[in-house]
Structures are given as C-alpha cells and as structure tokens.
Chains A and B, each alone.
Chain A
Amino acid sequence: MGTSLACAHTRKLAPLAEQAQYLALPRVELTVFVVRALLWVGFIVFLANLTVPAPPPSTSATLRTTPPPVPRPDRRWAGTTLTYYGERPGFGMAFERALLRQFEQDTGIRVNYIPRPLSASECYASYQRVFQARSPDVDVMMVDVVWPGALAPHLVPLSLSTEGFLPQLVENSMVDGKLVAMPGYLGAGLLYYRTDLLQRYGYEGPPRSFDELEQMAKSIQAGEKPVNPRFVGFVWQGYTYEGLTCNALEWQVSQGGGQMLDQVDSPEALRAFSRAAGWIGTISPAGVTGYQEEDVRNVFEGGNAAFMRHWPYCYASGNAPGSPVKGRFEVAPLPGASVLGGWEWAVSAYSRHPQAAEQLVAYQTCLPVQRWRAVEGAFLPTRPELYKDPELLERMPFCAIMPEVFRQAITRPSTRCRDLYNEASSIYFQGVATVLQGGDPAASMGRVRRDLSELMQP
C-alpha cells in the first residue's frame, strides 16, 4: 500500500504539461513506453551477452584416423541422394561426418545428413510423424534398440547378414521373422566405482551384491561427508523417464523379481523397489529422482560420489584430461544383470531408394566401421569378436568384462509390446516413481500389473 502512496504524491508533483499529455494522448504515450521498454530490454540483453563469457567449445571429438573404406563398394546407385537422420548434435557428429564423406566417395551416393533430435522421445515422435504421412523424405534413420517392434510396419526388411552379431540384439531386431534394423553400437548398465576410496576404506574390490553395495556406500559416505557435505554413496538415473525403466528393471531382475510385463508385483520385485526407495536420502541424494544421465555423470565426475550406475560412454569422459576423477575410477558389472541399450540403422518403407539406403546401413554396421568407432570414440561394438581386439582392450580395458555383461544382459520387452512399448514402459516407470516418492509398493505395483495386462490384451 505504501507504493500507492508514493504514486499518488508523485502524480501531484508532476508538471502540469506532462499531465495534460497523459490526458490527451494515452495511446501515444503507451506506444512510446512499449517501444522504449523493448529498446531497454534489447540493450540489457546485449550487455548481458557482453559480460557473460563465451561458452567453451563443445566437446566435439577430434579424430586421429580416417574411417575405413566401404568394403566391396557398389557404384550402381551413384548419383542418388539419400536423406538420413543420423547422430544427434554433440560427440557423435564428427564421426558421422567422416563416415559419410568416405561413403560418398566410395559409392558415389550423396547423403543429406540431418542430426536426429537430442532427446530420444522427441526423435521417436518425429519418426512417427514422417511415417504417419508416408513421407519419402527420409530414407535411412538411426533407431533406438527399443523401437524396432513399434516401427517395424514402416521399415524395409533388410537382406543383410547378421552373422557375428550379438544374438540378443539380432533377436530384438527381428519382427515376424524379418530383420528390420541392424544393430550398430550398444550400451549396457555398468557400475562405476572410485578405486581410491574403496582402497582407503579397506575394500578389496567392487561389490558383488546390492547388500555389499549398500554397506560400502554407507561407510564411505559416512567417512567423506564431514569433509565434503555434498558427498553421496551411490548415484543412478531416477528421473521419471525411460532411464528409470532401465534402472528399475535391473533391480527387479537382479533380485529375482521376474520380468517387467508379468511379475512387477512379485514379492521379490516389491522388495527390490522398496530397497531402492530406501536409498533416497541415505546413500543416494534426495535429488536423485530428478537425475538423468548427465546429472548423474556430473555428480560422479565432480568427485562427489563413490558409486554410479551408468552407460559405457562415461569411461571416456571420466578419463578425459582435466576430469577430477581421471585415473581414480574403474568399471565393474552391476550386481546381477544389466539392461541393454544402443542404436541401430534402418531403412524407411516409404524410401524411393531402398537399395542405396541399404548400402549405407551395411557400411554403418560393418566390422571395420564398428572397430574404428570403438577405438576412436568408445562406441561399443555389437559384434562379440571385437571384444578380443588388442587395440580396443588396450584403450578401454573394461571391454574385457563386456562379453560376461552381455551374456546376462536383459532386453526390454519392446518386440513383444510393438507399438505399445512406450506406453508399457511409462506405466512401469511411473509406478516405480510412485514407490520412490514414498507410495505404497504393493498398491502401486499392483496397479502397474493390472494396467500392463489390460494394455497387452489382444
């Protein structure tokens, strides 16, 4: 109310001429005011831009070697132009550009490369729109390992050989006996741990069960917290999204809780989810339900966590020059099983050049390219034989444990769910999120089971 007082008084003191103007020309005055305000905003934004330091150049990969040539190049489609939704903006783009340059040179096919949307769900939505319109504007696309089941009606069955590929991935890409996508590189949940801290607190090696993990995280956190109030024991992806499906499925399967579609409210599964809910605020930060991949990585790489559940790429970023945890962490299999992730290459059913498009898919997933991508950029190959490659093992020693991780790996039920996968996964992760938020496990997961069985009814 004090402001109205000030207002009334200044009005009284204002020169008469100015008041007359207010009376006669309110609109003009208002326009002038708005224009002035906009000019000031522009000026402030300009100043802000001057004072804020320019961001450091984004971490784009610098390639040491050129990509391998196309094996048995076929020049029959030289001169064709393909439109391709490839690597998203960021780390992968340099790889993509180099590979496409080589491909264009060897086959004479031109490729119009469009980086796919950063978020996987947005990418999925934009593919849906392309397919809905039966648009021939896209020929080749990268698809997440959980999409082949849903996108199969819109993809061309490929005639490429899957010999030497990881069987789970091939099975995941076969829909009604047809290969609709070629696995290009993959990920799997891994346990990152701080070797220096484990040693300081007297542990010989990484935990082999969730009990051990809890106990180790607790004692390390108790020791570190007085020095660093931000320190936490264990970080993972707890935000309400696909990443939570991966984490929760790992807890459920590892602790004997059965599969995602049928047994979400088995006693073992309920125990696994309640256990995870108990981590929040004890060995995991209260904010973990807001963490996606990059938040988790930043906490661990900032030296603020003892354990982290993450995908393989953090091995490269954590060991990059300047990283506070460089050389102070190692990677182990998760206690129990880990979920498979990764990206595949597919050809749109509405493409006008399916044979030329298949050439690009073959090149992107061929052995030499997978090897090059792995050695240069830590993209894990989908062909098990590469995990014995000496150069790869030397650059990334943890690759030695990967065949064991893959043997036990869990695939999400995307082939069974088909175009309902997104919804099934959302029902699952929203149910788990309710438990993590303090909801009753039996009631929440009971509803998830009912919703899932209703969804999956033919």
Chain B
Amino acid sequence: MERRRLAWLLLAPTLLVLAVVAFYPLAQTLAYSFTDARLGSSRPVHFVGLRNYFDLLVDPRFYSSLSLTVRFATVTVVFEFTLGLIIALVINSQFRGRGLMRAAVLVPWAIPTVMSTQMWKWMYHDVFGVLNDLGLRCGLLAAPVAWAADPAYLFPALCAVDIWKTTPFIALMLLAGLQVIPADIYEAADIDGASPLQQFWALTLPLLRPAIVVTLIFRTLDALRAFDIFYVMVGNRPHYQTLAVFNQQVLVEFSRVGPGSAISVVIFLLIAFFVFVYMRLFGVRE
C-alpha cells in the first residue's frame, strides 16, 4: 500500500505536466469546436452544437484537403521508407569515410523546413531556378518548366521536398535499429549457407520490426500534420491546402475559432485512427 502511494506520488508531477500541456488544450479545443467563437471579437460566444462539424461535412474544401493530406502521406511515407532503409543499410556497413557519410546524410534534416522549402522554391523557379537552368543547358528541357506552379508537376514537386528532407530521419531511426542487431546471427546464417537476400528477409527485416513500426508511426503522423512545406510553397492555393493549412486559414486568417477547432479535432481523430491501425497491423502491445 505504502509503495503504491509512493508510486502515485512519484508519477504525480508527470501527470500534472501532461494534464496542463496536453489534456487541457485538447479539452479546450474540443469545447471551442461546439461554439461560434471568433478571434479578436467582442461578440458573445454561442453554443452551436455539432453545426461546425456538419458545415465541414458539406464543405468541398474539407474533402479536397483531406484527400490531398492522405495522398501526400501515402506517397511520401512509401518513398521515404524505401530510400531510408537502403541508406540505413549502406551507412551501417564498414567503409572508409563512414562517419562523414552518416553526418552528411543528416544535413537535409538539420535545415529548418521553412528555409529548405524556400530554397527548393527558388530551385523550382521557372525563370531563375537552377533545375531549369541545368535542364536547358543539358538539353533535357526544351522550355523552362514551372515546377512549383504548373498543376502537372506541383504534387510530385511538393512530395520531393518532403522526401529529400525526411529520408535522413528515417535512415537514422532504422540505423539505430540495425546497430542493436547482434552480428553473430549473421555468422550463423552464413554457416548454414543462407544467401544475403535470405538473410535480409529472414533476419534483418524481422529484427528491425520494432524500429520500423516506431519510424512509420512517427512519419505518418508527421505527414498527416504537414503544414510548412505546403504553406511556404503554395500558400492557400485551391486543391493544394493540406488539412493543417486549411485549419490555419480558418482559425487564424479568418479568426473563426469554432470551425477551426472542429478541423483540429478532425485532424486529431484522423491521426488517432492511423495510430490504431498501425498498432493493430503490427501487433504492438505496451
């Protein structure tokens, strides 16, 4: 009994901090989502029930941003995971300059996203951009292409920025996973005559599973909350607003705290759903 009380006592600060920084804002957002509150307004706030949610259900912008967000998350996570795994396997092996290589891989991740997106925006520029300049000089392009404005190239261009930026993060997470796999099991596999490919499928991948699950959860959640790349590259362009950009526009630019909070709650539920699916899929207990 005494021990149990001590445990609660020791946990109390953590729970308190969590309550203040996580549960309170969440509850407040939820409460706001049922009102017509506005920023910087002296009008009285009314309870409107589920109206904000019903409005959202008939808003075409909501569906276009939901579909964009999910498409973006799928494309980027698949590419980032594949490339990240390859890079992790390469930099896990022994070669000269490995330390330098490992550090160099991290550079894109170390640059703040707003800055790297602005950099990419300039590289994509149709008149001054380095991509068009190289393309024209090498004869790959006949005329400059508006990578960051032409609807035909915009979505891949946005995904490329995220993939460039976040692959190193995945590589690092997976590398950490690779480092704790004991080497002797590979020796045993060699003695048993398993081919490197068999070793990869039968040893590396299963043993890497905990790292893979954590990485995928992290990345999917991040991609579903995507804001900065889109905001810097295309702003509020129709059909290119992610849920988070749409949320920012309604909540901050239009000062509509009620509907904005409703979108925040939807994003929260969407992310919770994806976490649940991953947990089920990979059977993570704990």
Contacts and interface: CB of A to CB of B under 8 A. Distances in A.
Contacts of B237: 239-240, 289, 430, 433, 437
Nearest to A239: B235
Interface stretch (B19-27, B71-79, B174-182, B275-283): B174-182
B191 to A, nearest CB: 10
Interface string B230-245: 0000111111000000
Given A229-B136, A241-B235, A285 B144 contact: yes
B235 A36 contact: no
A132 B183 contact: no
B165 interface: no
Interface stretch (A195-203, A295-303, A308-316): A295-303
Contact of B90 (A6, A287, A437): A6
A6 B239 CA distance: 44
Highest count of chain B CB atoms <10 Å: which of A13, A232, A430: A430
A40 B149 contact: no
A4 B253 contact: no
Interface string B120-137: 010001111000000010
Contact of B186 (A11, A230, A295): A11
B52 interface: no
A41 B107 contact: yes
Highest count of chain A CB atoms <10 Å: which of B149, B150, B200: B149
Contacts of A161: none
Nearest to A5: B196
Contact-residue bracket for chain A: 35 or more
Contacts of B121: 290
B126 A287 contact: yes
A14 interface: yes
A241 B127 CA distance: 21
A44 B186 contact: no
Given A3-B86, A22-B182, A286-B126, A30 B103 contact: no
B200 A4 contact: yes
Contacts of B234: 240, 290
A131 B39 CA distance: 9
B14 interface: no
Given A154-B40, A426-B253, A426-B254, A287 B150 contact: yes
B127 A287 contact: yes
Interface string A225-263: 000011010000011110000000000000000000000
Contacts of A240: 234-238
B151 A437 contact: yes
Contacts of A54: none
B94 A13 contact: yes
Given A7-B89, A230-B144, A288 B149 contact: yes
Given A295-B125, A419-B41, A286 B149 contact: yes
Contacts of A286: 126, 145-146, 149-150
B89 A4 contact: yes
A39 B110 CA distance: 12
Interface string B177-214: 01110111011011000001101100010000000000
Given A44-B104, A128-B39, A422-B253, A3 B110 contact: no
A26 interface: yes
Contact of B184 (A19, A132, A431): A19
A298 B122 CA distance: 12
Given A1-B197, A419-B40, A422-B253, A229 B143 contact: yes
A37 interface: yes
Interface string A22-50: 11001001100100111111011100000
Nearest to B180: A26
Contact of B128 (A10, A44, A229, A298): A298
Highest count of chain B CB atoms <10 Å: which of A6, A23, A429: A6
Contacts of A239: 235, 237
Nearest to A36: B99
Contact of B106 (A4, A12, A37): A37
B103 A37 contact: yes
Contacts of A132: 39-40
A66 interface: no
Interface in B76-129: 86, 89-90, 92-95, 99-100, 102-104, 106-107, 110, 121, 125-128
A338 B277 CA distance: 54
Nearest to B143: A229
Contact of B127 (A7, A33, A39, A302): A302
Interface of A: 1, 3-14, 19, 22-23, 26, 29-30, 33, 36-41, 43-45, 121, 125, 128-129, 131-132, 153-154, 229-230, 232, 238-241, 285-291, 295, 298-299, 302, 304, 419, 422-423, 426, 429-431, 433-434, 437-439
16 contacts: A1-B196, A5-B196, A33-B102, A36-B103, A37-B99, A38-B103, A154-B40, A230-B144, A240-B236, A286-B145, A287-B127, A289-B146, A290-B234, A291-B149, A423-B254, A423-B256
3 closest A-B pairs (Cβ-Cβ)?
A40-B103, A287-B146, A287-B126
Given A22-B183, A131-B40, A290-B121, 17 more contacts: A1-B200, A4-B204, A5-B197, A6-B89, A8-B199, A26-B179, A26-B180, A30-B180, A37-B103, A40-B103, A128-B39, A285-B126, A286-B150, A287-B149, A289-B149, A422-B253, A431-B238
